[in-house]
A and B are shown apart, each in its own frame.
Chain A
Amino acid sequence: MTMTTYSMKRILGESYPVLILCAILSLSAGLILHSQLESIKTLPLILVMVPPINGINNNVCSILGSRLTSALHIGTIEPKFGKQAILRKNIQATWIMSLGVFIFTSVIFFALSLISGINLLKSLTIMIAFFLASMAAIGVTMFCTIWLAFTSFSKGLDPDNVVIPIVTSIGDIAGVTCLIIAMKIIGV
């Protein structure tokens, strides 16, 4: 048991399975994007939207994931869905945090569309589509984050090595998928 805490073998052994899973998840996100190549060609701005939606989504949910695992270990949150004041507060805070950031980015996209010569109405639609997509993505990723935090606590998995990598990969898929669905629905 000595010297194993930070041994190369352990780091690799713990990380490889998770990283391979993450690679597969993120690759799927890329493939989903690729399958929509035709629509993207008509509105290249979508490509600009991918990094912000994924980045913000993943960061916000990673913060939540790491707060939750701490709270589970200390015992202020119990590993079950349902009425829990502290769990609710964490979820609310995450919503408010992402709401602020996404409203800010939506407005920037509105400006970008206008600058790139898209008319006012369409720019407005693009802005709304991006905003709705980001909110949906946050919802999905947040749910997965909570579930993963509960599971990692019940099974004694390393929260940093498991929860956060998987959360970010799920965030990638959720971000891309929600973005494309939103653009389709609004008919951009």
Chain B
Amino acid sequence: MQPPEYKPRSVRELLTEMKDTSDLIVDLAYAALLYESKELAELVHRLESKMDELMYTIRIMAAVAARNVKEAQKITGILQVASAAEAISNATGDMADLISMKIGIHPVIKDALRAADEKIVKLKISPGSNLDGKSLRELRLPSSIGVWVLAIKRKNEWMAPVAKDALLLAEDELVVKGPLYGIRIIHEMAGTPMEPFTIGTRLKKLRNELAKMRDLSDIAVDLAYSSLMLGSTEVAEEVREIEEAFNKFNYRAWLDTLKIAAEEKKNITELNSILQLARSMESITDAADSIVDVVIRKIELHPVFAKAISESLEKICRVKILPGSRFVDKTLEKLNLWGTVGVYVLVIKRGNKHIITPGGNVKLRANDIVIVRGSFEGIEKFQKEACSVCELSGATK
């Protein structure tokens, strides 16, 4: 690789960009699989090589920045996290390879991706619709319906990452992610009917395992970053637990796939794609584990972490629900925080108990501490309605 030209960019800026890119590239890789889109696979590969360049640059800047042993110890932590972000992007590259190398994608993969909590959808904007001619800045999709625009296709070219103030035009194709509720609304806004979210009933067990694995690997990464930002070994331990849960599903998914292969003795390439996907998701979860390793090792965390993560696109924040908030004693299902405020509840901490990725029937109580993920505006709204302030600024900007 040619060394890129020197640009004055600090380790902090580079780390923020690496986190944003790794968040984005995972979702785009799933989109590429869902739609068996060669173009999206190519976009993933493009972002992957951008990630290599970022990794190269952050190594250079980190090497220049260290001046003494103590500082250097803290900086190795930064490089470890950067490598993890790069490992995530490499894993997505492997997923995209399934498409580019024309390895058949097993239908259960698509079913699993559709069944996961977070939906990823490709849609087209109709002329004269509510999205036509609007800028993302004025639409505020993440903080109102929890939907993020990941990529835009215009004039036959996919663009990602999308600028904060990008203008949407008729005939643009978008890749978006969000909760089902928000995905429905965005289809209405775009003036295109939503393809029915039919999830095949074949191989139900395997499908559920894969869907669970996708959700868990996502959450593991988010929590890993939050443990880093909060400097919390508790959250780091949770990531370890999630990884264990993931590994169980992973083991079962491999067994089930191999059983099917042994029984059917056909479609072996397609079945192989399931194993490849499982392996990629495992690499993503492993990356989360190597991020929390930095926290658990108990070397003092570099202050750059909190800053870099708080400046990334998707913020993570710890908010206390105070008595008197409208959230108290309501179930998450009823509150629909993801679809209306755009925040996703990762963990509820109640006393000494942690509820990881609480289901819809869980009620919020006064004095609960919740760790949420969302846009800056969404988190701000959430804090206000929780009658609280962010305990550690995921949203200081």
Name the A residues within 8 Å of B65 (CB-CB).
Answer: 70, 73-74
- Kindly state the separation between the CA atoms of A2 and B303 in the bound complex, as whole angstroms: 35
Q: Are B307 and A76 in contact (CB under 8 A)?
A: yes
What distance in Å separates the Cβ of A83 from its nearest Cβ neighbour in chain B? 14
CB closest chain-B residue, reference A86:
B303
Residue B10 at the chain A interface, CB threshold 8 Å: yes
A5 → B minimal CB distance (Å): 12
Contact among B8, B67, B307, B308 for A70, CB-based, below 8 A: B67
B64 contacts the other chain (CB 8 A):
yes
Q: Does A114 sit at the interface, judged by CB under 8 A?
A: no
The answer to whether B8 touches A74 (Cβ under 8 A) is: no
| B6 adjacent to chain A (CB < 8 Å) | yes
Q: Mark A106-141, 1 if CB is under 8 A from B, else 0.
A: 000000000000000000000000000000000000
**Complex CA–CA separation, A153 to B62 (angstroms):** 13
User: Complex: how many Å from CA A73 to CA B71?
Assistant: 12
Among residues of B, the one whose C-beta sits closest to the C-beta of A72 is B10
**Minimum Cβ distance to chain B for residue A28 (Å):** 31
B239 to chain A, nearest CB (A): 25
| CB pair B8 A76 closer than 8 Å | no
Which of B6, B12, B66, B67 contacts A75 (CB under 8 A)? B12
Task: Answer whether A79 and B8 are a contact pair too, CB < 8 Å, given A73-B61, A74-B65.
Answer: yes
Given A74-B302, A76-B303, A153 contacting B8 (CB threshold 8 A): yes
Q: How large is the interface on B (under 10, 10 to 19, 20 to 34, 35 or more residues)?
A: 20 to 34
Q: Which of A42-92 contact B (CB under 8 A)?
A: 66, 69-70, 72-76, 78-79
Residue from A69, A75, A155, A156 whose CB has the most chain B CB atoms within 10 Å? A75
- The CA of A155 and the CA of B5, in the complex, are separated in Å by 11
User: Quick check: is A39 within 8 A (CB to CB) of the other chain?
Assistant: no
Residues of B within 8 A of A72 (CB): 8, 10
Provide the residues of chain B in CB contact with A159, threshold 8 Å.
64
Q: B377 on the interface (CB 8 Å rule)?
A: no
Interface of A is mostly: helix
Could you say which of A74, A76, A79, A156 contacts B6, with CB atoms under 8 Å apart? A156
Is there a chain B Cβ closer than 8 Å to A15's Cβ?
no
Please measure, in the bound complex, the distance between the C-alpha atom of A156 and the C-alpha atom of B60, giving whole angstroms. 11
Check if A154 is an interface residue, CB within 8 A of chain B.
yes
Q: Across the interface, which residues of B come within 8 angstroms of A66, CB to CB? A: 67
- The reply to whether B10 and A75 contact each other, CB–CB distance below 8 Å, is yes
CB-CB contacts below 8 Å: B58-78 with A: 61-62, 64-67, 71, 75
Are the CB atoms of B308 and A75 closer together than 8 Å?
A: yes
B304 within 8 A of partner (CB): yes
Interface bits A153-166 vs B (CB < 8 Å: 1, else 0): 11110010000000
Q: Is B40 an interface residue (CB 8 A)?
A: no
Q: Which residues of A contact B8 (CB under 8 A)?
A: 72, 79, 153-156
Contact of B71 among A70, A78, A153, A154 (CB under 8 A): A70
Most chain B CB neighbours (cut-off 10 Å) among A66, A72, A74: A74
When the two chains form their complex, are residues A75 and B304 in contact, meaning their CB atoms are under 8 A apart? yes
Within 8 A of A (CB), among B6-32: 6, 8, 10-15
Complex CA–CA separation, A74 to B82 (angstroms):
13
How far is it, in angstroms, between the C-alpha of A61 and the C-alpha of B374 when the chains are bound? Answer: 43
Q: Does the CB pair B71–A76 fall under 8 Å?
A: no
Q: How far is the CA of A159 from the CA of B15 in the complex (A)?
A: 22
> Could you tell me if A75 and B11 are in contact, using CB atoms closer than 8 angstroms?
yes
Smallest CB separation, B301 vs chain A (Å): 13
A76 CB contacts on chain B under 8 angstroms? 12, 303-304, 307
In the bound complex, residues from chain A placing their C-beta under 8 Å from that of B10 are: 72-75, 78
Q: In the complex, how many angstroms separate the beta carbon of A90 from the nearest chain B beta carbon?
A: 14
CB contacts under 8 Å to A, within B291-322, are 302-304, 307-308
**Most chain B beta-carbon neighbours within 10 Å: one of A72, A73, A78, A159:** A73
Q: Quick check: B307 and A75 within 8 Å, CB to CB? A: yes
- Nearest A residue to B13 via CB reads A75
Q: Which residues of A does B touch, CB under 8 Å? A: 66, 69-70, 72-76, 78-79, 153-156, 159
Question: Would you mind naming 14 contact pairs between A and B with Cβ atoms under 8 Å apart?
Answer: A66-B67, A70-B66, A72-B8, A73-B11, A74-B12, A75-B12, A75-B15, A75-B304, A75-B308, A76-B12, A76-B307, A79-B8, A153-B8, A156-B8
Q: Which 4 A-B pairs have the closest CB atoms?
A: A75-B12, A75-B10, A73-B65, A156-B6
